[in-house]
A and B are shown apart, each in its own frame.
Chain A
Amino acid sequence: MSGAIKLEGARTLFYKEVLRFWKVSFQTVGAPVLTAVLYLLVFGHTLENHVKVYGTVGYTAFLIPGLVMMSVLQNAFANASSSLIQSKITGNLVFLLVTPLSHWAWFAAYVGAAIVRGLAVGAGVAVVTFWFSPPGLDNLLWVLVFAVLGSGLMGALGLIAGLWAEKFDQMAAFQNFIIMPMTFLSGVFYSVQSLPPVWLAVSHANPFFYMIDGFRHGFFGVSDVSPWISLGVVGVAFVAVSGIALELLRRGYKIRH
């Protein structure tokens, strides 16, 4: 098969995946924006006058980039995982299984669409929350690099979860017992430097921490660890998770029997 035909196949799947969430954007983009705003109102209002981070940054300003990135990550994961599990359970994955699309095409399309969803939700949260308290911008490049790489990593993880789960409750367990704790313990709501040594060490073993911390560095120019270290950790995690996802797709794990 020629390269142009292969590319058209992958492009179509990417387009279909984007169209799928866009058609229900009220749920897939609107709802997560509202959730993030609620977090901001509650935590920001309670803690604004009590907490200063990095010595100078107000709590609400500190919280906003973390909330944006948390929304980016959770929604990138949700896009790939929910699309796959729905197609598996309703049986319409067969339309894709009978096509000549390679595992590379599946990967590129699902992860690509997850990045688009993550960035769309992130932009939505940013637009609404920046209106409350603009956090400033130190380096746009860091912001974009971590948003794209982080949502790509979560899209690949969502692909793995979508292939593995056979039922909606297994998917919910993956989300509630792995994704949620890791996002909450990643320093979205606090600087990990304020933690006792044990929890600081635990946070440093959590790849989500580096995604949030690197992203935040783009706004303030200061962070808990150097953005280069964060970039290294997130990059290695992306390559490792992508490798697993590609291998599972190549083998047809739980989709070709």
Chain B
Amino acid sequence: MQEAAISFQNVSKTYRGGAVRALDGVSFDIQPGEFFGLLGPNGAGKTTLISILAGLARASGGRVLVQGHDVVDDYAAARKALGIVPQELVFDPFFSVRESLRIQSGYFGVRNNEAWIDELLENLGLADKANANMRQLSGGMKRRVLVAQALVHRPPVIVLDEPTAGVDVELRQTLWQFIARLNREGHAVLLTTHYLEEAEALCSRIAMLKLGRVVALDRTSQLLSGKASTMLRFKTDAILPAELQSHARVTGRIAQITAHDATEVESILAKLRAAQVPVEDLEIGRADLEDVFLEIMQGAKQ
């Protein structure tokens, strides 16, 4: 069997002598060439897991392999295979875009990398900023440079930690086109994001983390069909009955309630009628990843 691109094996992380448990026995594999999504609410442990993968933090238990290389015992080979786009918008104010990329390339032992650097600049819309100092760039442009820096040594495994947080539509498009191309060319991608529609569109498999544990791990299509597959959406000014309120998603006047099948849809409608809730613009549709996510997160709470 081919070696997994990334293998998390029973990874745990505790802080303050065990008082805080950020990760609790996380295990899953990401296959070569796979586009994998890691989802979870804030504080679920996504960034801690990625920090352990990248060598920025040490696991309290378990181990992580990148293409079979342990990230602690064989860190040089593991890190050479990884390209990490960090979540924080960081930059070195002493250098220009091109200098930053040349330096990052050199750290990985790659010399004479100008052709690939030019391609990265071109594909990420940075060509005209190549000689600008990092300080002069806007936030979105700095984010692009972070992506380019992560890819400069052509890593087979790409890790993007919330790369589109606070990023405009144009960059999202550019970024996803480019990352999708690299994925087609065989790079494995691990993505954490808060934008569930992005995960749904891009990732073939998804893991959901909550309070440091994996609460769901499946193909995206399975997740969408397996759990609550139907979604009721309507507008109302009234307050929902308590039994519906608890698992409804309410945004202003719009209420959304998930259901598993037609019988459950009927029962929800009956409850609304019984409570005399006036309903406008009722739609019944397919549940999206956001509905699945909320259902799983609520389930994991109980």
**Contacts from A to B (Cβ < 8 Å):** 1, 4-6, 8-9, 11-13, 15-16, 19-20, 23-24, 87, 90-92, 94-102, 252, 256-257
Give chain B residues whose Cβ lies under 8 Å from the Cβ of A1.
76-77, 80, 109
Answer whether A257 and B77 are a contact pair too, CB < 8 Å, given A94-B56, A95-B92, A97-B56: no
Give chain B residues whose Cβ lies under 8 Å from the Cβ of A94.
56, 86, 88, 90
Q: What 0/1 pattern do residues 80 to 95 of B give for CB contact below 8 A with A?
A: 1010101010111111
Structural contact, B90 and A98, CB atoms closer than 8 A: no
CA distance in complex: A101, B103 (Å): 13
Structural contact, B57 and A256, CB atoms closer than 8 A: yes
Which residue of chain A is the closest to B91 with respect to CB atoms?
A92
CA distance in complex: A5, B106 (Å): 9
Q: Any chain A CB within 8 A of the CB of B126?
A: no
Give chain B residues whose Cβ lies under 8 Å from the Cβ of A257.
51, 56-58
Structural contact, B104 and A95, CB atoms closer than 8 A: yes
CA distance in complex: A15, B99 (Å): 11
A6, A23, A87: which contacts B109 (Cβ < 8 A)?
A6
Give chain B residues whose Cβ lies under 8 Å from the Cβ of A24.
94
Structural contact, B80 and A100, CB atoms closer than 8 A: yes
How many Å from the CB of A194 to the closest CB on chain B? 45
Which residue of chain B is the closest to A252 with respect to CB atoms?
B58
A-B contact pairs, 21 of them (CB 8 A): A1-B80, A4-B109, A5-B108, A8-B110, A8-B111, A13-B107, A16-B95, A19-B99, A20-B94, A24-B94, A87-B92, A91-B90, A92-B90, A95-B90, A95-B104, A95-B149, A96-B107, A99-B108, A100-B108, A256-B58, A257-B56
Answer whether A12 and B103 are a contact pair too, CB < 8 Å, given A94-B86, A100-B80: yes
Structural contact, A90 and B109, CB atoms closer than 8 A: no
CA distance in complex: A9, B103 (Å): 9
CA distance in complex: A24, B80 (Å): 32
Q: Any chain A CB within 8 A of the CB of B75?
A: yes
Structural contact, B57 and A98, CB atoms closer than 8 A: no
CA distance in complex: A252, B57 (Å): 9
How many Å from the CB of B61 to the closest CB on chain A? 15
Give chain A residues whose Cβ lies under 8 Å from the Cβ of B11.
none
Structural contact, A92 and B55, CB atoms closer than 8 A: no
How many Å from the CB of B134 to the closest CB on chain A? 9
How many Å from the CB of A160 to the closest CB on chain B? 21
A-B contact count (CB 8 A): 86
B82, B86, B94: which contacts A19 (Cβ < 8 A)?
B94
CA distance in complex: A8, B76 (Å): 14
Q: Any chain A CB within 8 A of the CB of B147?
A: no
CA distance in complex: A113, B107 (Å): 16
Give chain A residues whose Cβ lies under 8 Å from the Cβ of B76.
1, 6, 100, 102
CA distance in complex: A9, B149 (Å): 15
Give chain A residues whose Cβ lies under 8 Å from the Cβ of B92.
87, 90, 92, 95
Which residue of chain B is the closest to A24 with respect to CB atoms?
B94
Structural contact, A23 and B94, CB atoms closer than 8 A: yes
Q: Any chain A CB within 8 A of the CB of B54?
A: yes
Q: Any chain A CB within 8 A of the CB of B144?
A: no
CA distance in complex: A1, B149 (Å): 21
A9, A11, A90, A252: which contacts B93 (Cβ < 8 A)?
A90
Q: Any chain A CB within 8 A of the CB of B79?
A: yes
Give chain A residues whose Cβ lies under 8 Å from the Cβ of B57.
256-257
CA distance in complex: A11, B102 (Å): 12
Structural contact, B94 and A98, CB atoms closer than 8 A: no
Give chain A residues whose Cβ lies under 8 Å from the Cβ of B82.
98
Most buried by A among B76, B93, B104: B76
Structural contact, B55 and A16, CB atoms closer than 8 A: no
Which residue of chain A is the closest to B54 with respect to CB atoms?
A98
Which residue of chain B is the closest to A20 with respect to CB atoms?
B94
A13, A19, A87, A97: which contacts B55 (Cβ < 8 A)?
A97
CA distance in complex: A4, B88 (Å): 32
CA distance in complex: A16, B82 (Å): 22
Q: What 0/1 pattern do residues 47 to 75 of B give for CB contact below 8 A with A?
A: 00001001111100000000000000001
Structural contact, B79 and A98, CB atoms closer than 8 A: yes
Structural contact, A256 and B103, CB atoms closer than 8 A: no
CA distance in complex: A256, B55 (Å): 7
CA distance in complex: A101, B75 (Å): 9
Structural contact, B109 and A98, CB atoms closer than 8 A: no
CA distance in complex: A257, B15 (Å): 10
Structural contact, A98 and B55, CB atoms closer than 8 A: yes
CA distance in complex: A87, B56 (Å): 14
Answer whether A8 and B109 are a contact pair too, CB < 8 Å, given A1-B80, A16-B103: yes
Structural contact, B90 and A15, CB atoms closer than 8 A: no
How many Å from the CB of B28 to the closest CB on chain A? 22
Which residue of chain B is the closest to A23 with respect to CB atoms?
B94
Structural contact, B94 and A15, CB atoms closer than 8 A: no
A87, A92, A99, A256: which contacts B107 (Cβ < 8 A)?
A99
Which residue of chain B is the closest to A8 with respect to CB atoms?
B109
CA distance in complex: A95, B54 (Å): 11
Structural contact, B109 and A97, CB atoms closer than 8 A: no
Structural contact, A12 and B106, CB atoms closer than 8 A: yes
CA distance in complex: A9, B95 (Å): 18
Which residue of chain A is the closest to B134 with respect to CB atoms?
A92
